[in-house]
Amino acid sequence: MKAAPKLWVILGRPVRLANALIAVQALRDFFPGGCHLLRDESQWWDRAHWQPYAKYFTAIHAFPRVKTCRGLVDLPRLYRDTAGRKSAVAKLPINPDSDVLLCLASVMSLANAAVSAHPKVYKILGISKSGYDGLTRHPDRMRFRFTTSGWLQNRVIEPLAGVERTINFKPRLNPGGDGVRLVRLQKEPSEIYHSVICMSNTGRELPGPQAGEGLIAARFPSMAELSELPAIETKSGQRHRVLFFGTPFLLIHNLAPDVYIENLNRCLEFLRRSYPNADLIYRPHPIETNEASQLRLQGFQIENDREAAELYFMRHFAAIDAVYSVSSTVSRTALNYGLNAYSLWRSFPFPETAAKFFERIMGEVPPEFDIRDLAQPPMVYQGSRTVEPGTRSFGDALRLVMEQRSAVVR
């Protein structure tokens, strides 16, 4: 008897759990055999409140993370771990004729083990436009070279373990510059994945014509797509929340700390004035040290649980009135999720180089998103936002891929 088709969703960290739930909701009719979740075992999952959402998956399969290589002595361990994880994923009852792998994680780790262990199964990659550009970036070998561990993995471990080979480069003139490393699969994404959903703020952005076939543009996933998902921790009569996400301004010196503190205190006063009937919450950045102690946080609750913002938004969605940061992409994420989100960097005297960087990472945003004048109250705007005609939601893009695949199979 022919087995019912199954969907296998691959996640690394839990920050993309909402994307996985959207996929399950959008595609469950295509997969009567159920929707399974493959995830890493890590501290990120240990500290996340993800268990209430486990019931939306047929089963959850956890696999140990593989630590990077630290030298020649570490090679045997790296090989055992890499080959062992591939072997464990290969034992999953994945049918290459009917099942589908959906990768929403980094393509380097668990996803690499899955696509290597099941080369014949149909594969879909969901990735941001900027992430796709990174996976197809070709380095100038005059400017870049392999890291030592990257060379050992590419030339020794990965061929022996039978997984897709990866490239890990760093600049020749900037050794140790983690922020500018180039990490990608040795192959192009189109050589491994049958379809790629390329997500962006606008839902219209695609790589150039050299990117190959099988690319579909979509908007970033939104909590509005999870209409069937209950609010886990929203209680009747609960006060609403206004969140401010901190920045490690003692480590990142876009401005002198004293100037940053002065302007940030003005912003905190702006929140106290604008939301007198809400609970004001300050959530420190995970690498903050004593930044909070240098701010005037009277009236704010400090929540230092280090839970990923995406999961926090899911748990408290109905109780969140607004999300603020100075220049963090967490504001951009909250905007995509359907929350009234704001950035405050335009009210700071940042230099032009920093301002251009913030504009680039935020992308296209509604005018209300940028707080320019602290004398004016913030505008509630999500209820009046309209979807750009002709663009697809993430769920619609997934359904389109499956319909195209079904048409080919027939």
How does pLDDT run across 61-117, given as a tens digit for each residue?
A: 999 999 887 778 888 999 999 999 999 999 999 999 999 999 997 888 899 999 999
* Arithmetic mean of pLDDT, 158-187: 80
Task: Grade residue 176 by pLDDT with cuts at 50, 70 and 90.
Answer: very low
Q: What is the pLDDT of residues 241-258, one digit of tens each?
A: 999 999 999 888 889 999
Q: How many angstroms separate the CA atoms of 128 and 245, rounded?
A: 23
**CB 54 within 8 Å of CB 36:** no
Q: What is the pLDDT of residue 294?
A: 94
Task: Grade residue 122 by pLDDT with cuts at 50, 70 and 90.
Answer: very high
The DSSP-derived string for 112-174 is HHHHHH-TTSEEEEEEEHHHHHHHTPPP-TTTEEE-HHHHHIIIIIHHHHT---EEEEEETTS
DSSP conformational letter for 370: B
* Arithmetic mean of pLDDT, 207-221: 73
Q: What is the pLDDT of residue 178?
A: 44
Task: Centre a 10 Å sphere on the Cβ of residue 252 and count the other Cβ atoms it contains.
Answer: 13
**CB 194 within 8 Å of CB 213:** no
Q: Whole-number mean pLDDT of the chain?
A: 88
Q: Which of the two residues, 227 and 53, has the higher pLDDT score?
A: 53
Q: Which of the two residues, 204 and 208, has the higher pLDDT score?
A: 204
With a cut of 80, say whether residue 53 has pLDDT above it. Answer: yes
Q: Which residue is associated with the tokens 């920050």?
A: 15
Tokens of 184: 């990608």
Q: What is the pLDDT of residue 191?
A: 93
Q: Which of the two residues, 140 and 278, has the higher pLDDT score?
A: 278
Task: Centre a 10 Å sphere on the Cβ of residue 15 and count the other Cβ atoms it contains.
Answer: 17
Own/partner long-range contacts of 358-367 (Cβ < 8 Å, ≥24 apart): 358/327, 361/327, 361/329, 361/332, 362/329, 362/331, 362/332, 363/200, 363/201, 363/202, 363/332, 364/201, 364/202, 365/201, 365/332, 365/335, 366/335
Query: Under DSSP, is residue 102 helix (H, G, I), strand (E, B) or coil?
Result: strand
* Arithmetic mean of pLDDT, 112-138: 92
Q: What is the pLDDT of residue 235?
A: 56
Q: Percentage of the chain with pLDDT > 70?
A: 92
Task: Grade residue 46 by pLDDT with cuts at 50, 70 and 90.
Answer: confident
Q: What is the pLDDT of residue 177?
A: 45
- Strand ranges of the sheet holding 166-171, from the earlier edge strand across to the other edge: 144-146, 166-171, 182-185
Task: Grade residue 29 by pLDDT with cuts at 50, 70 and 90.
Answer: very high
Query: Under DSSP, is residue 293 helix (H, G, I), strand (E, B) or coil?
Result: helix
Cβ-Cβ contacts under 8 Å for 398 (sequence gap 6 or more): 22, 23, 26, 27, 102, 124, 126, 197
